[in-house]
């Protein structure tokens, strides 16, 4: 662990008119750390994620990111060109619906290779072998490299989306309900795969989920959100095993035991 965080969020608020999206959110995220943001629909967790990923502009507050050259940059004061470059190199964004994050009409190989081509890789053979390698890492058969994701199952699509995001070796990945639309058995495989990749690559990640099992498996730290506010935060196992806020207790007690 390094001495400096990767992301610093200070008093971040987003209002939709007079309605609160999220309000007064502050936290630091360190390299290699996975933060789960949990809460029910409408709790503001996705608004927060979109603000952090600069897909939404917050109403107030700041978020600073430590670039690869160790310079701190205010995310909301970067030029669009810089921000987009950051988003396709040093960041990843895994959407709940893989169709939102993939190009459904180009092959799996090109989906993985796009980021490489975007940063100037011009050697077909190298791009393809990198794509093969990444398909392997997300457990997609190499033979499917020229198939379009339209022909893939939901779980495969999600794994392809992950490979597409990780191919440039990002340091920070945003995930919005990464296992949301999947069957339970498929979820388990994806989660396990994600956990392995996050550990092996030392990724920092912010994972928005309503599923506490996902939070438990992936994250070291979590924030519980309700009505746009963080009601409880701390070590994931502490929050889940000794929930203190009324809402967290409700969440934890609502898990069905198998």
Partner 1 sequence: MATPLIVSEVAKAFTMHLRGGIRLPVVANVSFSIRAGECAVLGGPSGAGKSSILKMVYGNYGVDQGQIIVDHHGQLVDLATANPRTVLAVRRDTIGYVSQFLRTVPRVSALDVVAEPLVARGTARDEAHARASELLGRLNLPERLWSLPPATFSGGEQQRVNIARGFITDHPVLLLDEPTASLDATNREVVISLIEEKKLRGTALLGIFHDADVREAVADRIVDVTTFAAGKAAA
Partner 2 sequence: MTTAATEIATYNFAYLDEQTKRMIRRAILKGIAIPGYQVPFASREMPMPYGWGTGGVQVTAAIIGPDDVLKVIDQGADDTTNAVSIRAFFQKVADVAVTTETAKATIIQTRHRIPEHPLTAGQTLVYQVPIPEPLRFLEPRETETRKMHALEEYGLMHVKLYEDIARHGRIATTYAYPVKVEGRYVMDPSPTPKFDNPKMHMSPALQLFGAGREKRIYAVPPFTRVVSLDFEDHPFEIQTFDQPCALCGAEQVYLDEVILDDKGGHMFVCSDTDHCEKRQACGHRGHLAPEALEPAQ
User: Residue numbers of the site for partner 2 (CB under 8 A)?
Assistant: 80-81, 84, 88, 103, 105-107, 109-110, 113-119, 122-125, 127-128, 145-146
Q: How many CB atoms lie within 10 A of CB 118?
A: 13
What SS3 string covers 170-216? CCEEEEECCCCCCCHHHHHHHHHHHHHHHHHHCCEEEEEECCHHHHH
Q: Binds 17, which of partner 2, partner 1, none (CB < 5 to 8 A, cut-off by type)?
A: none
C-alpha span between 36 and 15 (Å, rounded)? 22
Q: How far apart are CA 247 and CA 229, in angstroms?
A: 11
Options 221, 226, 230, 231; binder of partner 1; rule CB under 8 A: 221
Cβ 100 to partner 2, closest distance in Å?
13
x-or-dash string of contact with partner 1, 11-50, rule CB under 8 A = -------------------x--x-----------------
Q: How near is the Cβ of 120 to partner 2 at its closest, in Å?
A: 8
- In the list 31, 154, 181, 234, the residue contacting partner 1 (rule: CB under 8 A) is 234
245 scored as a contact of partner 1 (CB under 8 A): yes
Closest CB to partner 2 among residues 92, 109: 109
Minimum Å gap between C-beta 87 and partner 2 is 11
Question: Running DSSP on this structure, what letter comes out for residue 256?
Answer: P
The length of the chain, given as a count of residues? 258
What are the residues whose beta carbons fall under 8 Å from the beta carbon of 123, sequence distance 6 or more? none
Torsion sign (Cα): 107, 113, 119, 124? negative
C-beta of 112 vs 218, nearer to partner 1: 218
Q: Any contact of residue 201 with partner 1 (CB under 8 A)?
A: no
Where do the H-state alpha helices sit in 96-183? 98-101, 108-118, 124-137, 154-166
253 part of the interface to partner 1, by CB under 8 A = yes
Binding site for partner 1 (CB under 8 A): 1, 30, 33, 188-189, 192, 195, 217, 220-221, 234-235, 237-238, 241-242, 244-246, 249-250, 253
């Amino acid at each position: 662990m390094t001495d400096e965080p990767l992301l610093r969020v200070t008093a971040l608020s987003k209002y939709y008119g007079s309605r609160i999206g999220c309000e007064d959110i502050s936290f630091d995220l360190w390299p290699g750390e996975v933060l789960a943001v949990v809460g029910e629909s409408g709790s503001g967790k996705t608004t927060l994620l979109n603000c952090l990923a600069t897909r939404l502009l917050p109403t107030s507050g700041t978020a600073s990111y430590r670039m690869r050259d160790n310079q701190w940059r205010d995310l909301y004061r970067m030029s669009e060109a810089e921000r987009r470059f950051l988003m396709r190199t040093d960041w990843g964004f895994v959407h709940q619906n893989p169709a939102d994050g993939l190009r459904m009409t180009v092959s799996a190989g090109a989906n993985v290779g796009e980021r490489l081509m975007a940063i100037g890789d011009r050697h077909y053979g190298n791009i393809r072998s990198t794509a093969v390698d990444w398909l392997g890492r997300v457990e997609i058969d190499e033979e499917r490299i020229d198939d379009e994701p339209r022909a893939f199952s939901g779980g495969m699509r999600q794994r392809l989306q992950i490979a597409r995001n990780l191919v440039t070796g990002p340091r920070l990945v945003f995930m919005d309900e990464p296992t949301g639309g999947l069957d339970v058995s498929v979820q388990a495989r994806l989660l396990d795969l994600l956990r392995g990749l996050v550990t092996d690559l030392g990724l920092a990640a912010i994972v928005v989920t309503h599923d506490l099992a996902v939070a438990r498996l992936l994250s070291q730290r979590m924030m519980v959100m309700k009505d746009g506010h963080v009601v409880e935060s701390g070590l994931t196992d502490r929050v889940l095993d000794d929930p203190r806020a009324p809402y967290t207790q409700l969440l934890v007690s609502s898990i069905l035991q198998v």
